[in-house]
Structure 1
């Protein structure tokens, strides 16, 4: 994979998914994620669900890096990030790193995904 601006941004986006998936959820280095899952989906299976979500997020990183059906991947990312953040904004704002401001960070992330995949001629710098 050559180091074009688009590929570098793809790697950065994939790293976000890997860090949040593996480091924060699977390895549970950020227990707040499990607390969020517990509050939204219930405490009974929060640990297993958090790890499962983390593994799926790592899978998203693999999909991003594979470039297979990249537009579908971008749409899936946008929908997932939007849905997760809207739910968290409403249900658990007290557990978010930046509270309700997290939704702004999510919107910027969504914009980066969108511009990188659908508007490659637009400069992100």
Structure 2
């Protein structure tokens, strides 16, 4: 498998993660735990609309990834958002996370994948054969 193929596969995988967490888990409320996390961190009063807003933003991230527009800024934004969200969850609501504090490991691995895909495999870095 060549690097262009890896890049494409990883890009679709990363997009799928954002789409699943944004649209399915938060906007469509298929995983109520996400709203519970928002409620605990930001307050119960606005948890439902804030969860939907976060889900819409995550769905927007998926669209941005696929668009390829300002790709490196997108990679940096993804890394900052994932690191921030997971640090807050690690510190404030570890009991609500799917794997508890171990979620931080999966977040770190996801950040590494995003970095590798966006800065190493990015097609402009791949030499033509």
With the length of structure 1 as denominator, give the TM-score of the two structures.
0.93
Determine the structure 1 residue equivalent to 2:13.
12
**What are the residue-to-residue correspondences of 1:18-29 with 2, within 5 Å?**
18-29=19-30
Q: Partners of 1:77 and 1:95 in 2: how far apart? A: 22
With the length of structure 2 as denominator, give the TM-score of the two structures.
0.90
Gaps in structure 1 of 5+ consecutive residues: none
Bigger relative CO (Cα 8 Å, ≥ 6 apart):
2
Let me know the Cα RMSD of the aligned residues.
1.4
**What are the residue-to-residue correspondences of 1:57-76 with 2, within 5 Å?**
57-76=58-77
SS at 1:105 equivalent: helix
Q: Partners of 2:30 and 2:63 in 1: how far apart? A: 21
Task: Find runs of 4+ consecutive structure 1 residues off by over 6 angstroms.
Answer: none
User: Any idea what the Cα deviations from partners look like across 1:74-107, whole Å, max 9, x if unmatched?
Assistant: 0000000000000000000000000000000000
Q: Partners of 1:45 and 1:87 in 2: how far apart? A: 18
Gaps in structure 2 of 5+ consecutive residues: none
